[in-house]
């Protein structure tokens, strides 16, 4: 199935509906860098996390309406991430188990960034947190524990059950 349709200067998302646009991966990285410099790195990360979180919540609500069975939601969201060009997504372990994690290979959000001390994908961490909290209630704390930007081979988001 085609994911997008182009018409009259617009790109429509054929799966979830609504208009989308293309943003160069390098532009995203440059914008984040500019944000780090204009406010602090910590404040930028918190801001990006919150934007991502809201996006994850809305993405999940739309996806829940689009699928027939709730079990399809996780797979559908992984497909959305892949057709959106975010990277290759794999769920590791079982939801709710201590080792449950979401792996992104070839993650777009830190493309070209290296040698960082901390993970850089706060936006994506927020998106994943928004998705999990919408699907399963506020039961998970999501943290990016590996990141290509700090020279790991993948970006890995651990979802630990909250106390
Ligand atoms: Zn990352």
The span from the CA of 159 to the CA of 125, in Å, is: 10
The CATH class for the domain spanning 25-161 reads: alpha beta
Beta bridge partners of 161: 140
Q: Which pLDDT score, from 0 to 100, does residue 2 have?
A: 83
Exposed, middle or buried: residue 156 (CB in 10 Å: 0-12, 13-18, 19+)?
buried
Which pLDDT score, from 0 to 100, does residue 53 have?
Answer: 97
128 C-alpha to ligand 1 centroid (Å): 12
- Per the structure block, which two tokens stand in for 84? 């959106």
Residue ranges per structural domain of the chain: 25-161
Element (H, E) at 84: none
The 101-105 sheet, strands edge to edge: 88-92, 101-105, 155-161, 140-146
3-state secondary structure of 4: strand
Query: How close is the Cα of 66 to the center of ligand 1, in Å?
Result: 28
Taking the model in full, what pTM does it have? 0.93
Enter the tokens of residue 118. Answer: 């901390």
Output the CA 22–ligand 1 centroid distance in Å: 20
For ligand 1, the distance from its centroid to the CA atom of residue 132, given in whole angstroms, is 18
Tens digits of pLDDT across the chain (163 residues): 688 999 999 999 998 889 999 999 999 999 999 999 999 999 999 999 999 999 999 999 999 988 887 778 888 888 889 989 999 999 998 877 778 899 999 999 999 999 999 999 999 999 999 999 998 887 889 999 999 999 999 999 999 888 6
**pLDDT of res. 157:** 97
Neighbour tally for 31: CB within 10 Å: 14
Distance 43 CA to ligand 1 centre (A): 18
Q: What is the pLDDT of residue 129?
A: 95
């Amino acid at each position: 199935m085609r994911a997008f349709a182009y018409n009259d200067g617009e790109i429509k998302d054929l799966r979830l509906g609504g208009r989308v646009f293309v943003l160069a991966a390098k532009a995203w990285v440059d914008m984040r860098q500019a944000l780090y410099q204009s406010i602090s790195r910590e404040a930028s990360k918190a801001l990006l996390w919150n934007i991502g979180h809201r996006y994850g919540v809305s993405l999940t609500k739309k996806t829940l309406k689009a699928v027939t069975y709730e079990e399809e939601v996780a797979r559908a969201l992984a497909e959305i991430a892949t057709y959106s060009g975010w990277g290759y997504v794999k769920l590791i372990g079982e939801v709710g188990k201590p080792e449950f994690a979401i792996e992104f290979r070839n993650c777009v959000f830190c493309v070209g960034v290296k040698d960082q001390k901390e993970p850089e994908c706060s936006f994506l961490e927020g998106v994943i947190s928004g998705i999990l909290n919408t699907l399963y209630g506020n039961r998970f704390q999501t943290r990016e524990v590996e990141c290509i930007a700090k020279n790991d081979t993948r970006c890995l988001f651990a979802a630990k059950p909250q106390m």
